Amino acid sequence: MNGVAAAPAATGQRRGKILFWLRAIAGHAALGGIYLAAYVGLDWLSFFEEFRGLDVTLWNPQPALTLILIIQRGTAYTPYAPAAPFLSDWIVRDFPLSLAGTLAYDGIFAVGYVALAFLMRQFRSITADDARVQDMVWLVSTIVLGCLIISSACAETLELLGIIKEHRVRQIIGAFWIGDASGILAFLPFFITWPDALRTWRRGTSRQRIIDLSVFAFTVAFALFIVFGIDDARSPGFFYLLFIPVCWAAVRLGVGGAATACVTVQLVLVLTLDLLDYPPQEFRPFQVMMLALTGTGLLIGTVITQRGRAEAALRAREAELSRLGRVTSLGAMGSALAHQISQPIASVATYAHAAQRMVAAEAPDLGRLNEVLSNIAGDARRAGEILRRLRDFIAHGGQQTQSIDVTALLQRSVRTARESESGHVLDIRLRAALLPAVMGDELQLEQVFLNLLRNAIDATAQIPAGRRRIAIETTATDGAVEIAIEDNGAGIAANFEPLLFEPFETTKATGMGLGLSISRQIVESHGGKLWYERGEGGGARFVVRLPSVKGALP
C-alpha cells in the first residue's frame, strides 16, 4: 500500500523540482535579456564624441548596469557581462575592430568591470535606509580608481593591437576614465537607491512634492540658462550653479534624492552639450565638474540620510524611555487602579447586598431583582474595562480612538457622578454649546470628567445642602473645545496650588492624590491641556482643553 502511495508522491515531487528549475532558468534569462537590451540602449544613447568609432566616449554610463546586475543579483549573472559590450559593438558600432581585436578589447573591458563588481558586492547595502558616509566614500573611490585601471588596461590593449599610437594612450585613458567614472557614479547609486528616494518623496504632502519638483526644475533650468545662454565663453564658468538643485535634492530626500538629481542633471547636461555641438576638448571640463558635483551630492545626501536615521533612532529611544517611564510608575498605577475601580466594585457590593435581601423576601420582586443583577453585571464589566485600558496604557500608551460627542459624554459623567454620590444633594448645571467632535478614547476622557466632578463634589461637601453648586460650561474655540468645571467650594490654598497635579499629593484623609495627575496625563496624551484657575466665586475651576476635529459635528 505504502509503495503504491509513495510512487505518485515521488513523481509529483520530481515534477515540482523540474518546474522550479524551469522557472528559475526563465527568470534568469529574462533578467539577462533586459540587462543586455538596457546596456545596448544606454550605449546607443550615450554614443557621441566617440573615439574612432570605439566605445571611448565622454559619457559612458552603461557599465553601471553590469555592476548593478552582479552586485544586486549575484555572480551567476557574470556570463552576460562580456556579451553586453560585444552585442553593443555589433549593433551600435558595427564592429569597428577586427574580430580578434573586438574579443580582446571587450574581454578586458568585461573582465575589468566584473572584477570591480565582485569587489563592490560589499556595497550592496547602500540604500537610503542604511547608507553610511564611509561606505559612500569607498564606493566613490572604488569607482574612480577602478575606472582608471580599466581605462588604462583597455588603452594599452588598443596600443598593442596597433589601433592607437603611443602618444595617444594618455588622451584615451583620460576620456575613457572620465566618461565611465562620471556615468557610473551617477547611475550606480541611482539604481540602488531610487526605490527609497521614491518612498521618501511620497511620504511628503502633495504641496511639498510640488515645491520640491518646482525648485529642482527651476534651479536646473536657471543654471543651464546662465551657463549656456548668457556665459558665451563656452566654459563651465557658472557650472557651480548646478550644485544648487543637487544639494536641494540631497537635503530634502537624502542619498536617494541626491543620486536621482545627479542622474537627471547629468542627462540634461550631456543632451545640452550634444545639442549645442560642443567639441570634446570643451566637453571634457564639464564632465570633470560633473564628476565633482556627483561625488559631492552623494556625500551630502549620505550625511543627510545618516542624520535622519540617527534622529529616528533617537525618537525610538525616547518612545522606549517613555514606555519604561510608564512601567516604572507601575506602583503609582497600581494605586490609581484601586482609585478608579473602587467605585464600580463598591456598587457591585451594594447591589449584591440588595439582591440578597430581595431573594430573602417572602415574595421576591423578580423584575426589580433582574434590574439589580443587570446593574451588577454592568458595573463588573466597567471595572474589567478599566483594568483592560490601564493594561494597554502601561503596554504602549495605546488609546481606542474614536469620534466623541463631548456633550453626551459630560451628561453621562454627570449621571454617573450623581449615582455614586447618592447621599449628596447636588446642583450640577451643564451649559453646553454646540461642540465639534473630539477624537479620543471615550473611557479615558470619562475618567477625567468623573475625577474632576468627584473632586468638586468633595469640595462642596462642607457647604449646606441647598447651596452646593457645580457648573459645567463648554465652549468651542478655534480648533479646540474647552470644558470648565467650577464649584463653589473653598477653592485651593495658595501653597497647595503648585502641588495640585503632582501624584500622591492630597489634602483628603482618604485621598490618594492621583486623580488630577492621571487626568492631566490622559488629557495631554490626547494633545490637550488640563489646568486650574481660581473660580469667580472663590471656588476651584478646572479647565480641560481638547483639540477638535475641524468642522466635524459629533
Residues within the interface to ligand ADP (CB under 6 A): 451, 455-456, 459, 487, 489, 492, 500, 505-508, 511-517, 540
DSSP string, 189-227: HHHHHHHHHHHHHHHS-HHHHHHHHHHHHHHHHHHHIII
Nearer Cβ to ligand ADP (318/502):
502
First to last CA, the chain: 70
Nearer Cβ to ligand ADP (209/429):
429
CA dist., res. 95 & res. 100, Å (int): 11
Closest approach, Cβ 399 to ligand ADP, in A, equals 21
Nearer Cβ to ligand ADP (31/345):
345
Question: Is residue 314 packed enough to be buried (19+ CB in 10 Å), middle (13-18) or exposed (0-12)?
Answer: exposed
Nearer Cβ to ligand ADP (116/516):
516
Closest approach, Cβ 536 to ligand ADP, in A, equals 14
532 bridge partner residues: 542
Q: Measured at the alpha carbon of residue 459, what is the angle toward residues 453 and 463, in degrees to the nearest 5? A: 120
Closest approach, Cβ 529 to ligand ADP, in A, equals 16
Closest approach, Cβ 500 to ligand ADP, in A, equals 5
Closest approach, Cβ 469 to ligand ADP, in A, equals 12
CA dist., res. 118 & res. 121, Å (int): 5
Nearer Cβ to ligand ADP (293/456):
456
Spell out the residues 6+ positions from residue 301 whose beta carbon is closer than 8 angstroms to its own.
131, 249, 250, 253, 254, 255, 256, 257, 258, 259
CA dist., res. 533 & res. 47, Å (int): 78
Nearer Cβ to ligand ADP (483/516):
516
Radius of gyration of the chain (CA): 38
Q: What is the dihedral of CA 83, 86, 87, 91, to 10 degrees?
A: 180
Are 308 and 325 in contact by the 8 Å Cβ rule? The answer is no
Which helix (H) or strand (E) segment holds residue 546: the answer is strand 540-547
Closest approach, Cβ 344 to ligand ADP, in A, equals 17
Closest approach, Cβ 485 to ligand ADP, in A, equals 8
Nearer Cβ to ligand ADP (173/544):
544
Nearer Cβ to ligand ADP (89/446):
446
Closest approach, Cβ 322 to ligand ADP, in A, equals 22
